[in-house]
Amino acid sequence: MNPFSTLGIRHDIVNAITELGFENPTPIQEQAIPVLLSGSNDFVGLAQTGTGKTAAFGLPLLELLDFEENYPQALILCPTRELCLQITSDLKKYSKNVRNVNVVAVYGGASISDQLREIKRGVQIVVATPGRMLDIINRKAINFSEVSYVVLDEADEMLNMGFQEDIDTILATTPDDKKTWLFSATMPAEVRRIAKKYMTDPHELTMGTKNTGNVNIEHEYFVVKARDKYAAFKRIVDFNPEIFGIVFCRTKIETQEIAEALMKDGYNADSLHGDLSQQQRDRVMKRYRERSIQLLIATDVAARGIDVNDVTHVINYSLPDEIENYTHRSGRTGRAGKTGVSIAIINSKEVGKIRQIERVIGKQFTKAEIPTGFDVCEKQLFGLVHKVHNVDVNEEQIEQYLPRIMDEFKDMDKEEIIKRFAFLEFSRFLDYYKNAPDLNAPAFEERGGDRDRGGRTSERYDRTSSRGDYTRLFINLGSVDDFTRGDMLGFICNQSKISGKAVGKIDLKGVYTFFEVENSSAQQVQDAFKSVDFQGRNVRIELAGDRGTEGGGGGERSGGYRGNSGGGGFRGERSGGGNRGNSGGGFRDFSGKRREGGNSGGTGKRDGERKRRF
Ligand code: AMP
């Protein structure tokens, strides 16, 4: 028997959730369902998203409501459109075998007339974001006088977003004897206060310790110099080739810049922030869910309510202004029993913030080192080796080509073939990471603590200068052709009959080299190489132009070894609005100072409501 039946869920619903793969209740479902099914308690559940809380309250609701009747009996309030749609869709899935269940999603940024029409047709469960709900109440288009259950989902987020007043007004239209079920990932004083205000003697359930992050999440921090941040971030990503991550930035601009730089560098990335229209955001989320995007670069506000399973890494490219947001960010990974890693990339002065977060989440961070170029290459190389080892060959597909392939390799032994395949696949990034600098910076604790002292100092990356009186040229020979820099200088000078003094910086790579020559000699060099062979190969010299331009991005080459093949294009115009603009207003930041306004825009309407103190 499915254990959900033992908990008291009827078989029609158990059948539906079994199809969804719910074989055993999650801890919160196991504990909350029997309590909520009694229908006689107010309830406070301290639980993160990803713990199965939607079913924890959704299944009891489906048992308790009377679907023969078509009036609103349950109201679920949640902070974001995404969550609203998610809950609605989940409830519909759970109840697909139950007759006449009507669930309506009420949220901003979509046609209100469609929502009004749906309400008019008859509905038992309303899932809503507070702003649009209030709008509909003000139009007298809904009657909540017979509501028996109100669920406040992600209550801390709703308060954080300044919905307190709206919630008060909405709840005032519901009967006094309704039952209120509140779910929250964290329990700051504000949530305590609303629990007290709306509930009598609630049954409390805590999953894990209070304010503790999910136990499945490892927390790591990396200390780097500000100018090395992007390069360090890319190394972390390169070190984790299978990453499926959400990268949090503090501002829309930063979000966009990082996403665009990543796309340019060949990563599958895109941004999600409040300047995108709802349609654009939906499109990005669809691509992320489908995994066409590997890295989603997001602001806190835009990422609220994102419900994607199997996120392997959350990366705090910038730490959040409000400490509690760290919990929300990291809660996007380690969902549904999976493990996940939450990473913070910080500068030396931010170690104190890590300690503050540790106190809030009740877990310690591990200080990790940015992998060296060698580490990354090794990881990637063996990733491929393992893939080759484990690949399931479709014999039928490859069969027709095999004789010819075998014929091509008949003169080479196994070792030689393996070496060549490995080299070919990896020369791109072996080359990219050759001479890659150490990006770790020393970390300083506040007030001179020494916990992280001894971190390695980052070297300066030796960037190719591009002086105005030199021309930068590309030649298709490099270290794999057994050239040293001296050899290359000699080769160029002998061939083009110029003095060594006319040659500037030589940047020797694996299969090619960039070098500078005085402008006055540039043409002579190019002409001299027009018909030169090197070991049977045609030597090519070209103006470097944009090819392999270096710089940008704080000390490491801005291009990635992945080249420019991946990652979607740039979107067209970005229309404003769409987002409710919620992080404006006052709150306390890490320094304890009061900050005015947030980074993700805001209507300013609810200023003064948004306070977070630690
Ligand atoms: P939630 O915390 O409600 O957002 O749920 C997180 C994810 O876990 C969702 O994808 C659910 O479909 C899934 N889930 C919830 N309950 C169970 C369960 N008992 N067994 C398997 N998956 C579940």
For the chain, the structural domain boundaries read: 3-206, 217-370, 374-432, 466-573
- Nearest residue (by CA) to ligand 1, atom 14, is 52
Q: Tell me whether the CATH fold assigned to 3-206 matches the one assigned to 217-370.
A: yes
pLDDT digits (tens, 9 = 90+) for 309-328: 788 999 999 999 888 789 88
Mean pLDDT of 82-86: 91
Identify the band that residue 308 occupies on the pLDDT scale cut at 50, 70 and 90: confident
Tell me which of 6, 22, 306, 310 to substitute to probe ligand 1's pocket, judged by most ligand atoms within 8 Å of the beta carbon: 22
Ligand 1 atom with least separation from CA of 4? 19
Q: How far is the CA of 63 from the centre of ligand 1 (A)?
A: 18
CATH classification (class only), 3-206: alpha beta
How confident is the model at residue 139, as a pLDDT?
95
- Is 49 a pocket residue for ligand 1 (Cβ < 6 Å)? yes
Mutate to test the pocket of ligand 1, among 20, 87, 332 (most ligand atoms within 8 A of CB): 20
Ramachandran class of 595: left when φ > 0, alpha when ψ lies in -120 to 50, beta otherwise: beta
DSSP 201: S
Ligand 1 centroid to Cα of residue 309, in Å, is: 9
- How do residues 406-415 score in pLDDT, each as one tens digit? 999 999 999 9
466-573 is classed in which CATH architecture?
2-Layer Sandwich (3.30)
Interval between CA 105 and ligand 1 midpoint (Å): 20
| Kind of pairing between the strands at 594-595 and 587-588 | antiparallel
Summarised one tens digit per residue, pLDDT across range 441-455 is: 876 654 333 333 233
Q: Please provide the DSSP assignment of 526-570 as one string.
A: HHHTTT-EETTEE--EEE-TTTT----GGGS-SS-TTTT--S---
Please give the average per-residue pLDDT across 275-282, as a whole number. 83
Mean of pLDDT values over 106-122:
94
Helix (H) / strand (E) containing 45: strand 43-46
Give the model's confidence band at 42: pLDDT under 50 very low, under 70 low, under 90 confident, else very high. very high
What is the H or E stretch that residue 93 is in?
Answer: helix 81-94
Higher-pLDDT residue of 423 and 177 is 177
The residue count for the chain: 614
The pLDDT of 474-484, averaged and rounded, is 79
**CATH assignment of 217-370?**
3.40.50.300
Closest atom of ligand 1 relative to the 309 alpha carbon:
10
48 backbone dihedrals φ, ψ, rounded to 5°: -75, 165
- Output the CA torsion sign for 82, 85, 91, 97: negative
For the cut 50, the answer to whether the pLDDT of residue 347 exceeds it is: yes
CA-closest residue to ligand 1 atom 4: 50
53 lines ligand 1 (CB under 6 A): yes
Q: Please state the rounded mean pLDDT for residues 398-427.
A: 88
The atom of ligand 1 lying closest to the CA of 336 is 8
Average pLDDT over every residue of 425-430: 71
Q: Does 345 have pLDDT greater than 70?
A: yes
Distance of CA 51 from the midpoint of ligand 1 (Å): 6
Q: What is the pLDDT of residues 197-249, one digit of tens each?
A: 889 889 988 775 433 455 678 899 999 998 899 999 999 998 888 899 999 99
Q: Which residues, including other chains, have CB under 8 Å from residue 446's CB and lie 6 or more apart?
A: 351, 352, 355
* 335 Cα nearest atom in ligand 1: 6
- How many angstroms separate the alpha carbon of residue 11 from the centre of ligand 1? 19
Query: What are the tokens at 566?
Result: 């991946």
Using 50, 70 and 90 to split pLDDT, how confident is the model at 428? low
Percent of the chain with pLDDT over 90: 39
**Which of 54, 90, 207, 307 most suits a substitution to test ligand 1, by most atoms within 8 Å of the C-beta?**
54
Report pLDDT digits (tens) over 88-101: 999 999 999 999 99
Nearest CA to ligand 1 atom 15: 52
The tokens describing 379, both together, are 């990881």
For residue 55 and ligand 1, the question of a CB distance below 6 A is answered with yes
Question: Residues 474-503: what's their mean pLDDT?
Answer: 84
Which conformational region is residue 472 in: left (phi greater than 0), alpha (psi within -120 to 50 degrees), or beta?
A: beta
5 CA → ligand 1 middle, Å:
17
Q: Please give the distance, rounded to the nearest whole angstrom, from the Cα atom of residue 50 to the centre of ligand 1.
A: 6
pLDDT > 70? residue 373: yes
Residue 132 exposure: Cα atoms within 13 Å on the Cβ side:
27
Quick check: 195 pLDDT over 90? no
Mean pLDDT of 162-188: 91
Instruction: Assign 313 to helix, strand or coil.
Output: strand
Q: Which residues have a Cβ under 8 Å from the Cβ of 206 and sit 6 or more positions away?
A: 46
Under a CB-based contact definition with an 8 Å cutoff, are residues 465 and 549 in contact?
no
> What's the pLDDT score for residue 305?
65
Q: What pLDDT band is residue 77 in, cutting at 50, 70 and 90? A: very high
Phi, psi of 198 (to 5 degrees): -100, -5
Kindly calculate the radius of gyration of the chain based on its CA atoms and give it in whole angstroms: 29
The Cα–Cα gap between 147 and 74 comes to 5
pLDDT at 604 over 50: no
User: What does pLDDT average to over the chain?
Assistant: 80
Question: How close is the Cα of 33 to the center of ligand 1, in Å?
Answer: 14
For residue 458, is pLDDT > 70? Answer: no
Q: How many CA atoms lie within 13 A of 501 on its CB side?
A: 0
How far apart CA 72 and CA 62 sit, in angstroms, is: 13
Q: What is the pLDDT, as a whole number, of residue 215? A: 62
- What mean pLDDT comes out for the span 460-466? 29
Q: Which of 14, 24, 48, 51 to mutate to test the pocket of ligand 1 (most atoms within 8 A of CB)?
A: 51
